[in-house]
Structure 1
Amino acid sequence: MTEDVSSVLIDGPWNHRMVAANGARFHIAEAGTGGPDRPLVLLLHSFPEFWWAWRHQIPVLADAGYRVAAMDLRGYAASDKPPQGYDTFTLAADAAALVRCLGERRVVVVGHGWGGWIAWAMATMQPDVTTAVASFGMPHPLVMRQSSARVPAQVRANRYLHSMQMPFVPERQLVAGPRYTRRVMRAWSGSDWPAEDLVQRYAAALTLPFVAHSSAEYFRWIVRSVLRSDGRRFVNRLSQQSRLPTLFVHGEDDGCVLPASTLGSQTYCRGPYREVRLPGVGHFVPEQAPERTNELLLQWLATI
């Protein structure tokens, strides 16, 4: 049975809003008021999740005085699912336009997985609105690209990425039931996490109309752009060193982005850079280690 969008508008200490930005409508869960010394914090989720992945961070950051917005990325959950725009340039422009539509001039971008990829890109693609970036479970995109070609274990771990290139098959797997979501999340978490109720919630969100196709398009762009002009422009833009404060956090049990594949992100940073490795934690750092994530974010945000 196909889910309704209302199923992802989960109640909690936050408000749900739809915001028109960059030619589409985006859903955010928002909390906190912010202030002159408390910048907007934009939270970007990964695959196969949606804004709910930040449920442990939203109230903590809001209580600390920050204005927080957890966004459903283009093509996910309650946000619009247009047929195109799943390249990194557009995704970064989505985030920047959303910030402006929220009445803010600058933002701290915090992302996990795919959201981390976008956060890294914001530093050089949207520097006018970006104050600082934090990435959980995703090194600098060019480090990830290089490792995906040169680290044999990462090549094997990327089998899911190559399976996403097939037409129709990934979409059918994603909507067929929770089996795919359960297998991927537990393999990437390095444990029996998540519990079945969370598997069911994320699997159900993938059955919303067009979400399966949209989420697969992210992975298709990564591979197909390699030999195209937009892929070359992406490399040129990301090759520029960022001057922004940067936090990179990675779980040592990550089964998606292997720890050995994450070395070298600091070479793309000229500004303050902090890197933290968490033992016993897999790919889904904000959910697997919420208290540690909150502690690291609050410490880092206080330095900006």
Structure 2
Amino acid sequence: MVADSSCVLVPGPWEHRDVAANGAQFHVALAGPPDPDRPLVVLLHAFPQFWWAWRHQIPPLAEAGYRVAAMDLRGFAGSDKPPRRHETDVLARDVAGVIRSLGAAGAVVVGHGFGGTVAWSMPTFAPAVTRAVAVLANPHPVPLHTLRTVPARALGPLLRFQVPWFPEQALTRGDLVARLLRAWSAPGNDGAAAHADLYTEAMGLPFAAHSTMEHFRWLVRSTPRPDGRRYLAALRTPVTAPVLTVRGGQDPLMGARAFRRDACYVDGPLQQVVLDRAGHFLPEEAPAEVTEALLGFLADVVR
């Protein structure tokens, strides 16, 4: 199955735009005051999703006066899917380029899941444009890159993703997207799984499934290589920008132990929130609580 790219252009109280940055084109859903002087909030989605996962947060953030940009990361949905350059630091520079292309001097970067890894990397690789960072359902990358500390529920899929071809087929022609959305959600919460067909359709876009798998392959295979060691060495410098972390109390993928060292990598203000009844897909499983946490954080860090 090859998806129709219109699945990415879901209508709503936002506009769709292609933005040039870091040598590629990125699809962005924009909302809020068009004035580039307004505070910019960039939303980065998780795997196996795309910008649509933030649909509950975009309107209230925009109504609160923020300029909101929910982007598709490199390799996902409506953004470019190059055959190479899947390193996390490259994705951080993609986000920095989008911020500049939108005419903003800086932004608060909010990342969920895989997008959270990119958000954690922003203060290191794009400090000039990173005003603050909010990370949902994703621990700091340094301990997470050590296989012996990866949660068991995350290690299995991560290792299976290293196999060529088969994961891509399961994402586009099988039910892997639906199974992951169900397995990583809190019991009985279908906030994300209810939209499995749309997320599967986006994975069916040409080269999307392969690109997303290449991101995860880099995360594992780079760890012993010079590029991976340089990336982790850079991230060992603690973040001085304000940080908000939000995790689900019933996250089957990332349990509480996975987050126990986050504070070791933050020297600036740190807020930590636990949503007791949510799983991994926080923006959809607990939309009101996530919006409330983000609005409170933004009120503190954006003056």
Equivalent residue runs for 1:88-237 within 5 Å: 88-146=88-146, 148-150=147-149, 154-177=151-174, 179-194=175-190, 197-237=194-234
Paired with 2:211 and 2:154, the residues of 1 have a C-alpha distance of: 22
- Contact kept, 8 Å, 2:143 with 2:149, in 1: the verdict is no
Query: Is the aligned partner of 1:278 residue 2:275?
Result: yes
CA displacement, residues 109-151 of structure 1 (integer Å, 9 cap, x when unaligned): 00100111100000111101100000000011113224x4136
Q: Does the C-alpha gap of structure 1 residues 37 and 295 become closer, same or farther in structure 2, counting only changes over 3 Å?
A: farther
Per the alignment, residue 5 of structure 2 pairs with 5
Q: 1:197 to 1:296 in 2, by over 3 A?
A: closer
Q: Report the equivalent of 2:242.
A: 245
Whether 2:89 is the aligned partner of 1:64: answer no
Contact (CA 8 Å) 1:243, 1:270: kept in 2 or not? yes
Cα offset, 1:189, TM superposition:
0.7
Letter paired with 1:240:
T
Q: Which runs of 5+ in 1 are unaligned?
A: none
CA contact (8 A) 2:137 2:282 kept: yes
- CA–CA separation in structure 2 for the residues paired with 1:144 and 1:227: 14
1:22–1:97: 8 Å Cα contact kept in structure 2? Answer: yes
User: How far does residue 92 in structure 1 lie from its aligned partner after superposition?
Assistant: 0.4
Q: 1:116 is aligned with what amino acid?
A: G
Deviation at 1:38, TM superposition (A): 4.5
Amino acid at match of 2:195: L
Aligned with residue 293 of structure 1, among 290, 293, 297: 290
8 Å Cα contact 1:34/1:40 also seen in 2 = no
Q: Quote the Cα distance in structure 2 between the aligned partners of 1:273 and 1:90.
A: 26
CA distance in 2, matches of 1:281, 1:59: 21
Q: Aligned pairs, how many?
A: 300
Alpha-carbon spacing, 1:197–1:156, altered in 2? closer, same or farther (3 Å): closer
- For the 8 Å contact 2:106–2:131, the answer to whether it is kept is yes
Q: In the alignment, which residue of structure 2 is the partner of 1:83? A: 83
Letter in 2 for 1:171: E
Task: For 1:36 and 1:9, locate their aligned partners in 2 and report how far apart those are by CA, in whole Å.
Answer: 23
1:32 aligned residue = 32
- Secondary structure of the corresponding residue to residue 241 of structure 1: coil
**How far apart, CA to CA, are the structure 1 residues paired with 2:208 and 2:153?**
26
Q: Counterparts of 2:105 and 2:253 in 1: how far apart (Å)? A: 34
- TM superposition shift of 1:166: 0.5
Distance 2:153 2:18 in 1: 39
Question: Is 284-293 or 251-260 further displaced after alignment?
Answer: 251-260
Give the TM-score normalised by the residue count of structure 2.
0.95
TM normalised by structure 1 equals: 0.95
1:242 and 1:269 in contact (8 A); partners too = yes
Query: Contact between 1:38 and 1:67, CA under 8 Å: does it hold in 2?
Result: yes
Q: Are 1:246 and 1:274, in contact at CA under 8 Å, matched by a contact in 2?
A: yes
| Cα separation, 2, equivalents of 1:282 and 1:263 | 17
Q: Which residue does the alignment assign to 2:251?
A: 254
CA contact (8 A) 2:246 2:275 kept: yes
* SS of corresponding position for 1:134: strand
Specify the SS of the correspondent of 2:211: helix
Q: CA deviation at 1:155?
A: 3.0
| Contact kept in structure 2, 1:116 and 1:137, CA below 8 Å | yes
Using the TM superposition, give the Cα deviation of residue 36 of structure 1 relative to its aligned residue in structure 2, in angstroms.
8.7
Describe the superposition over 1:184-227 as per-residue Cα deviations: whole angstroms up to 9, x where unpaired: 11111132443664111111111111111011011100100011
Q: Flag the 1:136–1:84 CA change in 2: closer, same or farther, 3 A.
A: same
What is the RMSD computed on CA atoms of the aligned residues?
1.5
